[in-house]
Structure 1
């Protein structure tokens, strides 16, 4: 009887895994800007809608918008300068750029569809417009690369496989153990994808800086600023969704050589 229950759990887990994999591999779309085929959960219009809906809440998490129109206008000017003078302008996304009031957090991020944010904590550390362009170009790269939509599809896959593993490997005497293992595997998979997305966005940032006449060396300077802001107690690269600034510098320099000498 016990062997029958184990076989039943394995069969159910296998069916769940097949359904999760089938669903994931059926989510293929061609990126409207890069032409690359990607597995994503949303259409570009759905990304825009999601981004517009989530932007106010995201801003609220960082103290709302910074109340200085000149500062907001500068960031919008630099951001739109990239959008309007590169391949990005031919895409479906609606870009807008916002400065957040949080003066302590050193961060910049994009939500799906083109809403891009930078905290005063990071902005006040930047010394030049080229450095700002490097940060914004990187975040534009996340939108163009459809990283949020890709992550959603991957999370659905990982969640499905984790659920299948929990069922197949469940031990009636230790239910929490199998759930912990499944969650740990899911987290490791997501860490890898996060690092790859960051490096691809750096590549986009370098390309857009060169195309708009900016100095891409400023992106290396931004990495130095981020490293200094992180201090000596930064977590190991493997434990972070972002590659270390040192690792990113090497990739940025490789991208500079690639786009300067195509």
Structure 2
């Protein structure tokens, strides 16, 4: 009993320290005005993004060696930033095409470095569709989703450690740690889905503000669903919402920003 009580006391202290550390890291988003728990300043996000950009590009075959294609997405990306709420952000946006011809992907790293693979670019038929993809990724940067995820992961790691201390049996400690980590991972998946839906909303808003047709983002969702061959993972166990779910949310955003 004493041993159990000691473990619970230690776990409680760890929970309090972890939660205090998480909620004390509150910053106001310079574009949305939203209060967020983040552990990086915008300047640190920019520095981190610039430092990691080359490594991320290397994972997808490096940059695509065609200046005209690179200039195309830079033109569209900077047009979206300049003519939308994103212009109020402190981030240093730049846009890059990656040489990978088969992977269908686009992503943003903290601070404004945005990438799209050649594989995805080849699937897009119009400038509006490309603007939809880039607007979505700009939304991840404006939403500070990477910084939020870093802070959440740090919190969840601390809570998982506390849970492991509380429930572990000295004779089978691994099982407690496994269950704690499983719970932490499932909580973190929800945050990922919410980030994707928020970025879709930002993307629609920025497209409308810049003069692009936001319905093109619906076309991109249809393309992604077709590209998956119907084998996309169930939404519950994926960090990305299903294309059908995203389609309904995008339609709602179009109606909201057009009024």
Question: Per the shorter chain, which TM-score range?
Answer: over 0.9
SS in 2 for 1:117: strand
Paired position in structure 1 for 2:253: 255
Deviation at 1:202, TM superposition (A): 0.2
Which of 12, 15, 25 pairs up with 1:14? 12
Aligned pair count?
A: 259
- What's the secondary structure of 2:65's corresponding residue? coil
Provide the rounded CA distance (Å) in 2 between the counterparts of 1:164 and 1:90.
40
Where does structure 2 lack aligned partners over 5 or more consecutive residues?
A: none
2:141 maps to 1:146:
no
Q: What secondary structure sits across from 1:99 in the alignment?
A: strand
Q: CA deviation at 1:86?
A: 1.1
Deviation at 1:231, TM superposition (A): 1.2
The Cα of 1:98 is off from its aligned counterpart by: 0.3
1:102-141 to structure 2, matched below 5 A, reads 102-141=100-139
SS of equivalent to 1:127: coil
Q: Which residue of 2 aligns with 1:97?
A: 95
Q: Distance in 2 between matches of 1:85 and 1:177?
A: 53
SS at match of 1:242: coil
Structure 1 distance, partners of 2:136, 2:250, is 11
* Residue 49 of structure 1, CA deviation: 0.3
| TM superposition outliers: structure 1 runs of 4+ over 3 Å | none
Partner of 1:156: 154
Whole-angstrom CA distance in 2 between matches of 1:88 and 1:202: 14
Q: 1:205 matched to which residue of 2? A: 203
Aligned counterpart for 2:187 among listed residues 186, 189, 214: 189
CA deviation after TM superposition for structure 1 residue 91, in Å:
1.2
Partner Cα distance (1:112, 1:49) in 2: 8
TM-score (normalizing by structure 1): 0.98
